[in-house]
Amino acid sequence: MTKKNGITRRQAVGGGIAAAAGLVLAQPSDAKAHDHKVPKLTNEQFYDKDGKFLADKARQAYYDMFARFHYPNPKPQQELMWVQDFGMGDFIHAGMAGVFWFNDKENNYFGHDIYLLPGQQIPEHKHLKTEDAVAKREAWHVRHGMIYCLGTGPETKPMPVKLPESQEKTRTVKNCCRVMPGEVNSLNEAEAFHFMIAGPEGAIVTEYATYHDGAGLRFANPKATLG
């Protein structure tokens, strides 16, 4: 077998959904599910009686997920990690945490870790070209758990994952592929809408990308904000 960009030819042509979307996707890994119990989370755990987002409780939920995955949580990670519900009041369905480890405008590269609780979706978004940056390009490397990536391309039927109802009215992309531990997927088109949603155990994902200019970020849902 010959290799193409570090992926065997079989891997490069495998996976009908990924091929249809023009995505780079490795074949499913043989990683086994972790032998731990995943707690059921509800929005009520992360908002007070007035609807204020409780960031500290959200942060602890990610720390608990790290422990289930036996994933290190050193002090620099704790200090840099941010959590978001995107101002939507639906954290368990539309939210995330992450660390921007590096964002180099001059040399045009970016390093980011993404943390998603079970079934949690990053709201659909795209990255536009700005005065200071090209349209951001991204690739996502699953470390623990698994994700579904949705982007441009033919609609996937049946949809292999239940998508949050809170995002249904503004969802524009419906081409879906599964990305398992050790696999890498990438954005197939510059300035295209896309999003990811975690599987039933949650997910820890490393993102490799060009420089991130927040001025180019656009959400499909007008209610989504970076509060």
Tally of CA atoms within 13 A in the half-sphere of 197 that contains its CB: 25
- Residues β-bridged to residue 195: 150
Tokens of 55: 């960031």
pLDDT digit of tens for each residue in the chain (227 aa)? Answer: 222 333 332 333 233 333 333 344 333 333 444 556 888 999 999 999 999 999 999 999 999 999 999 999 999 999 999 999 999 999 999 999 999 999 999 999 999 999 999 999 999 999 999 999 999 999 999 999 999 999 999 999 999 999 999 999 999 999 999 999 999 999 999 999 999 999 999 999 999 999 999 999 999 999 999 97
The CATH number assigned to the domain holding 71 equals 2.60.120.10
Confirm whether 80 is domain-assigned.
Answer: yes
Q: Is residue 27 in a domain? A: no
| Sole residue written with tokens 């091929």 | 19
**Hey, is 37 helix, strand or coil?**
coil
Q: Is residue 95 part of a domain?
A: yes
Beta-strand relationship, 125-127 and 82-84: unpaired
Q: Tell me if 13 is assigned to some domain.
A: no
Answer whether residue 93 is part of any domain.
yes
On whether residue 17 sits in a domain, the answer given is no
**Nearest alpha-carbon partner for 178 in 208, 164, 198, 163:** 198
Q: Which of 93, 116, 91 shows the shortest CA–CA distance to 206?
A: 116
Q: Is residue 112 within 8 Å of 106, Cβ to Cβ?
A: no
Place of tokens 């039933």: 200
Tell me if 115 is assigned to some domain.
Answer: yes
What Cα–Cα distance (Å) separates residue 182 from each residue in 27, 73, 109, 145, 168?
Answer: 10, 20, 21, 10, 30
Q: What is the pLDDT of residue 24?
A: 40
Write out the residue range of the structural domain in which residue 45 sits: 37-219
Structure tokens at 215: 């001025």
Residue 227, pLDDT score: 74
In a domain, 209, yes or no: yes
Domain count, the chain: 1
